[in-house]
Amino acid sequence: MRQYIDYAKISKDIICHLYAGYKSLNDSPLAAELKAFIELRVSQINGCDYCCNLHRNEVVKLGVNQDKIESLSEFTSSSLFSDAEKEALQWSESLTKLDGNTKVESTELSKYFGEREIVDITICISLMNAFNRLAISMRDN
């Protein structure tokens, strides 16, 4: 089993850029709850325990109903999620589960979100996938 590698210390300059991009999402028009749910769902799919715990705690701090948190993995059939949330979470799943397919599922994001929000949702998903993969591959998980 490979040892933990402190990637944030070893490649500090590069990791700082990733974190800066992540922190910039705080200035996004995205609702904090949606952003946290996207991060949690991507982390669930990737199996990153560290990130799942971090984002679950974030959702709890935002005062989200426990039933909604527990139903995240079944969001498509849950009445606790709005249509807009479901669409953003479906986009999260599509981008996270690329499985070698360069064509992602058609989306109706523009029905619920403006261009800036769509870009920010996609950046949020992409950054979370990057952080998950770093944590998992460097054994921070």
Averaged pLDDT, 73-94: 96
Q: Which domain holds residue 77?
A: 7-137
Is residue 103 predicted with pLDDT exceeding 90? no
Confidence check: pLDDT of 77 > 60? yes
pLDDT in tens, 62-76: 999 999 999 999 999
pLDDT at 92: 95
pLDDT at position 101 over 70: no
CATH number of the domain enclosing 78: 1.20.1290.10
Q: What mean pLDDT comes out for the span 111-124?
A: 95
Q: Considering the domain boundaries, does residue 14 fall inside one?
A: yes
Residue 100 pLDDT class (50, 70, 90 cuts): low
pLDDT of residue 52: 94
Do the domain assignments include residue 1? no
Q: Which of 22-36, 81-95, 103-117 has the lowest mean pLDDT?
A: 103-117
Q: Is the pLDDT of residue 140 over 70?
A: no
- The per-residue pLDDT for range 11-55, each reduced to its tens digit, is 899 998 898 988 999 899 999 999 999 999 999 999 999 899 999
Give how many domains the chain has, as a whole number.
Answer: 1
Residue 17 covered by a domain: yes
Task: Work out the average pLDDT over 99-124.
Answer: 83
Query: What's the CA gap between 30 and 49, in Å, rounded?
Result: 24
Average pLDDT over the chain, rounded to an integer: 90
Domain assignment present for residue 2? The answer is no
Domain membership of residue 124 (yes or no) is: yes
- CB contact burial 16-31 (16+ within 10 A = b; e otherwise): eeeeeebeebeebebe
40, part of any domain? yes
Which pLDDT score is estimated for 102?
58
